[in-house]
């Protein structure tokens, strides 16, 4: 399987995704949207990954490359490609699909509980179009996750569930933690790619944000969480295996 990744920060890498790619024997290519003016053709990849970043998708004047990245992601969606976006990536995909991205009521940093949405509704389009998500993909995806689980967060923004998408998850601090569009475009607010080194690098580079807040944990609560790291890796591998299955159908 051919995987292409959009990486926005040098230190915010693929984490467990790279480990999964190597174990499964897939190929991986990278683009840094802030440095490149060209992207691969959708025919050249099977799965697109859109990683996180410190920027906001609405800061288009400060980050003019966001417009180009959105155009590239839109082409992938139109080509019916499988896409996974986490944090900034999930927000960018949501905006491409017509969902609004804005400041969340709370910053959410650290290990927080996420649960399945009690009523994972479908967000109708403005034109009242029929439900376009794949019921089978949706149900198979939800079965991968327990009713409640710990996930790693580092965000201040949030996305609306975009038109035509299905809500998946929520947390106390952030009502919209995930959505599925057309059975193979998945946007998440949390980081399924987080591993021990990945988190340590984020704390090292962005620890200045750990200044208190209702949902902002201290460094001692974030680092060294072996059980949560293992749970994240297991969930992440199952999620990526799910993508591989739907791509190979």
Range of the domain at 132: 2-247
pLDDT at residue number 217: 97
**Total number of domains constituting the chain:** 1
Mean pLDDT, residues 224-249: 97
**pLDDT over 90 (residue 195):** yes
Q: Residue 189 is encoded by which pair of tokens?
A: 């607010």
Contact call for residues 130 and 93 (beta carbons, < 8 A): no
pLDDT per residue over 53-86, tens digit each?
999 999 999 999 999 999 999 999 999 999 999 9
Mean pLDDT of the chain: 93
The residue behind tokens 């439900």 is 131
Q: What is the pLDDT of residue 137?
A: 84
% of the chain beyond a pLDDT of 70: 94
Q: Which residues contact 181 (CB under 8 A, 6 or more apart)?
A: 77, 93, 97, 132, 133, 162, 164, 165, 166, 187
Six-digit token pair at 147?
């009713």
Q: CA-CA distance, 174 to 107, in Å (whole number)? A: 9
Per-residue model confidence (pLDDT) at position 238: 98
Q: Which of 79, 149, 155 is nearest to 115 (CA)?
A: 149
Question: Could you give the 3-state DSSP secondary structure of residue 154?
Answer: strand
d(CA 46, CA 92): 19
Dihedral over alpha carbons 52, 97, 58, 64 (to 10 degrees): 80
pLDDT at residue 244 greater than cutoff 90: yes
Distance between CA atoms of residues 207 and 161, nearest Å: 29
In this structure, are strands 101-116 and 165-170 parallel, antiparallel, or unpaired? antiparallel
Over residues 162-185, mean pLDDT: 95
Tell me what pLDDT residue 57 has: 97
Residue tagged 């609405």 (tokens): 58
Which carries the bigger pLDDT value, residue 228 or residue 118? 228
pTM confidence score:
0.94
Q: Phi/psi class of residue 67: alpha, beta or left (left: φ > 0; alpha: ψ in -120 to 50)?
A: alpha
Note the pLDDT of residue 133: 53
Question: CB-based contacts of 239: which residues, under 8 Å, 6+ apart?
Answer: 84, 141, 144, 192
Angle at 137 between CA 132 and CA 142, to 5 degrees: 115
pLDDT at position 249 is: 87
- pLDDT for position 225: 98
Contact assessment for residue 168 and residue 120, using Cβ atoms and an 8 Å cutoff: yes
pLDDT band at residue 121, thresholds of 50, 70 and 90?
A: low
pLDDT at 130 over 80: no
Task: Read off the CATH number of the domain in which 76 is found.
Answer: 3.40.50.880
Q: Residue range 84-97: average pLDDT?
A: 98
What pLDDT sits at residue 212?
A: 83
């Amino acid at each position: 399987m051919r995987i292409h990744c959009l990486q926005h920060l040098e230190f915010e890498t693929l984490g467990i995704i790279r480990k999964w790619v190597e174990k499964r024997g897939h190929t991986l290519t990278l683009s840094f949207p802030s440095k490149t003016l060209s992207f691969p053709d959708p025919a050249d990849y099977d799965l697109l990954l859109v990683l996180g970043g410190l920027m906001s998708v609405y800061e288009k004047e400060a980050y003019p490359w966001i417009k180009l990245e959105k155009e590239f992601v839109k082409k992938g969606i139109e080509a019916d490609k499988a896409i996974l976006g986490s944090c900034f990536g999930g927000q960018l995909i949501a905006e491409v699909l017509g969902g609004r991205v804005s400041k969340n009521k709370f910053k959410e940093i650290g290990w927080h509980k996420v649960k399945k949405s009690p009523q994972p509704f479908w967000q109708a389009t403005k034109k009242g179009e029929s439900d376009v998500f794949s019921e089978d993909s949706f149900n198979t995806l939800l079965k991968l996750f327990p009713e409640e689980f710990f996930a790693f967060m580092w965000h201040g923004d949030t996305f609306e569930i975009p038109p035509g998408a299905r809500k998946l998850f929520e947390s106390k601090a952030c009502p919209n933690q995930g959505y599925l569009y057309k059975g193979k475009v998945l946007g998440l607010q949390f980081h399924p790619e987080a591993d021990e080194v990945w988190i340590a690098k984020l704390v090292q580079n962005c620890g200045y944000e750990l200044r208190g807040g209702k949902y902002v944990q201290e460094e001692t609560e974030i680092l060294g969480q072996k059980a949560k790291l293992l749970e994240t890796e297991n969930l992440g591998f199952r999620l990526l295996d799910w993508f591989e299955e739907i791509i190979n159908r």
